[in-house]
Structure 1
Amino acid sequence: MKTHQPLAVSAIVAAVLASGCGGGGNNNTLPFIGFGNPPVATVPPPSGPAALTCDDTLKASFKPDASTSVVAVKSFKKGDALVLGGAATATTPVAANDVCMVKLNVGPGNSGPEGAPSTSPGIGIEIWLPSKAAWNSRVHALGGGGWQGGVAGSAAAIASSDAADVAGKEGAVSSTTDTGHASLAGGAFAMNPDGTINKTLWTDFASRGIHEQAVKTKALAAAYYGTPAKYAYWDGGSTGGRQGLNLAQNNPTDFDGIIANYPAINWTRFITAELYPQIVFQRDLGGVAPTRAQQDLVSNAAVAACDVVAGQHLGYVLDPASCTYDPTTDLTVLCTSDGGTNATSACVTKVQAAAINKVWYGMTADGSAPSPATDNGWSAASSSTLPGSANQRWFGQSRGTSLYGAMFAGFGLNGLTSPNGAFPIASDQVALELQNSTIGDPSFVNATGNGQSLWKQLSYAQLSNAYDRGVTLQPQFGNINTDNPDLSAFKNRGGKMLTWHGLADELIMAQGTVNYYNRVAAKTGGLSDVQGFYRLYLVPGAGHGNPNGTSNPAAEVPYFTPTQFYDALTAWVEKGTAPDALTLQTLGGAAAKTRPICVYPKKITYTSGDTGSAASYTCS
Structure 2
Amino acid sequence: MSARGTRRLAVLATVVLLAGAAVGTQAATATTAPGAGRPTTVPNCAGLAQLRIPASVMSLPTTGGRVESTSVITSVLSGRTVTYCRVDAAISPVDPAAPDIRMRVALPHGWGRGAMMFGGGGYNGTVPDLTANVPFGPADRPVPLARGYATFASDSGHQGSPTAPPSLDGSFGANDEALHNFAAGDALKKTRDASLFLIRHAYGTSPARVYFAGGSTGGREALVVAQRWPRAFDGVISAYPAWNNLSEILYLGYLAQVLSRPGAFPGPEKQGLLYGSVIDACDGVDGVRDGVVSNLRGCRFDPRVLRCPGGADTGVSCLSDRQLAAVTAMSSPFRWPYRIASGETGYPGFPFLSGADMRTPFLGFGTTPPANPMPVTSGYGMQYWDQWVKYFLTRNSAQNSLDVDPRRPGRWLGRISHLSTVQDRNTVDLRPFARAGGKLILLHGAADELVSHRSTNDYYERVRDELGPASTRAFLRYYLVPGANHANFGTPAFAAGWDSLSALERWVDRGQPPANPVVADLRQDRTRPLCDYPAWPRYRDGDPHSAASFVCTR
Q: With the length of structure 1 as denominator, give the TM-score of the two structures.
A: 0.71
The structure with more radius of gyration: 2
- Which string of whole-angstrom CA distances, capped at 9 and with x for unpartnered residues, describes residues 56-90 of structure 1? 6632476574833323232224249x9xxxxxxxx
Q: What is residue 170 of structure 2 aligned with on the other side? A: 187
Tell me, what secondary structure is at the counterpart of 1:144? coil
The alpha-carbon deviation at position 302 of structure 1 amounts to 1.6
Letter in 2 for 1:259: I
The alpha-carbon deviation at position 123 of structure 1 amounts to 1.8
**Change over 3 Å in CA distance of 1:363–1:71 after alignment to 2:** same
Q: What is residue 25 of structure 2 aligned with on the other side? A: none
Letter in 2 for 1:587: L
Q: What is residue 274 of structure 2 aligned with on the other side? A: 298
The alpha-carbon deviation at position 418 of structure 1 amounts to 4.2
The alpha-carbon deviation at position 144 of structure 1 amounts to 0.7
Equivalent position to 1:398, from 336, 351, 358:
351
Q: What is residue 456 of structure 1 aligned with on the other side? A: 402
Is contact 1:109-1:201 (8 Å) kept?
no
Equivalent position to 2:330, from 348, 359, 382:
359
Q: What is residue 477 of structure 2 aligned with on the other side? A: 535
Q: Larger % of strand: which?
A: 2
Equivalent position to 2:283, from 280, 283, 307:
307
Equivalent position to 2:120, from 141, 144, 149:
144
Equivalent position to 2:307, from 334, 345, 357:
334
1:429 partnered with 2:410: no
Q: Which whole-Å CA distance do the structure 2 matches of 1:595 and 1:266 have between them?
A: 29
- Which string of whole-angstrom CA distances, capped at 9 and with x for unpartnered residues, describes residues 459-513 of structure 1? 46336996885344335xxx22111001111000001110100011110011111
Equivalent position to 2:111, from 121, 124, 135:
135
**Change over 3 Å in CA distance of 1:49–1:310 after alignment to 2:** closer
Q: Which whole-Å CA distance do the structure 2 matches of 1:358 and 1:167 have between them?
A: 41
1:602 partnered with 2:551: no
Equivalent position to 1:579, from 514, 527, 530:
514
Letter in 1 for 2:65: S
- Which string of whole-angstrom CA distances, capped at 9 and with x for unpartnered residues, describes residues 278-299 of structure 1? 21123xx426511111122122
Is contact 1:126-1:177 (8 Å) kept?
yes
Q: What is residue 567 of structure 1 aligned with on the other side? A: 502
Of 347-356 and 424-433, deviating more is 424-433
Q: Which whole-Å CA distance do the structure 2 matches of 1:466 and 1:609 have between them?
A: 58
Tell me, what secondary structure is at the counterpart of 1:211? helix
Q: What is residue 194 of structure 1 aligned with on the other side? A: none
**Change over 3 Å in CA distance of 1:168–1:352 after alignment to 2:** closer
The alpha-carbon deviation at position 336 of structure 1 amounts to 3.5
After TM superposition, list the pairs within 5 Å mapping 1:206-225 onto structure 2: 206-225=184-203
Letter in 2 for 1:100: C
Q: Which whole-Å CA distance do the structure 2 matches of 1:109 and 1:549 have between them?
A: 44
Is contact 1:142-1:240 (8 Å) kept?
yes
Tell me, what secondary structure is at the counterpart of 1:259? strand
Is contact 2:445-2:480 (8 Å) kept?
yes
The alpha-carbon deviation at position 545 of structure 1 amounts to 1.1
- Which string of whole-angstrom CA distances, capped at 9 and with x for unpartnered residues, describes residues 120-158 of structure 1? 1x2221111012xx10110011111111123x5xxxxx9
Q: Larger % of helix: which?
A: 2
**Change over 3 Å in CA distance of 1:347–1:565 after alignment to 2:** same
**Change over 3 Å in CA distance of 1:181–1:159 after alignment to 2:** farther
**Change over 3 Å in CA distance of 1:167–1:291 after alignment to 2:** closer
Equivalent position to 1:49, from 28, 38, 49:
38
Q: What is residue 419 of structure 2 aligned with on the other side? A: 473
| Identity between Structure 1 and Structure 2 (%) | 27
Q: What is residue 450 of structure 2 aligned with on the other side? A: 507
Letter in 1 for 2:132: D
The alpha-carbon deviation at position 96 of structure 1 amounts to 4.3
Structure 1 alignment gaps of length 5 or more: 1-41, 83-92, 113-118, 153-157, 192-197, 367-385, 438-449
The alpha-carbon deviation at position 610 of structure 1 amounts to 4.0
Structure 2 alignment gaps of length 5 or more: 1-29, 58-62, 135-141, 371-377
Q: What is residue 549 of structure 2 aligned with on the other side? A: 616
What stretches of structure 1 move > 6 A for 4+ residues in a row?
464-468
Equivalent position to 1:324, from 300, 308, 314:
300
The alpha-carbon deviation at position 252 of structure 1 amounts to 0.9
Letter in 1 for 2:308: C
Tell me, what secondary structure is at the counterpart of 1:473? helix
Q: Which whole-Å CA distance do the structure 1 matches of 2:357 and 2:541 have between them?
A: 35
Q: What is residue 59 of structure 1 aligned with on the other side? A: 50
The alpha-carbon deviation at position 243 of structure 1 amounts to 0.8
The alpha-carbon deviation at position 264 of structure 1 amounts to 1.1
CA RMSD of aligned residues (A): 3.3
**Change over 3 Å in CA distance of 1:63–1:350 after alignment to 2:** closer
Q: With the length of structure 2 as denominator, give the TM-score of the two structures.
A: 0.79
**Number of aligned positions between the proteins:** 488
**Change over 3 Å in CA distance of 1:61–1:250 after alignment to 2:** closer
**Change over 3 Å in CA distance of 1:300–1:486 after alignment to 2:** same
**Change over 3 Å in CA distance of 1:604–1:528 after alignment to 2:** farther
**Change over 3 Å in CA distance of 1:167–1:326 after alignment to 2:** closer
Q: Which whole-Å CA distance do the structure 1 matches of 2:133 and 2:53 have between them?
A: 21
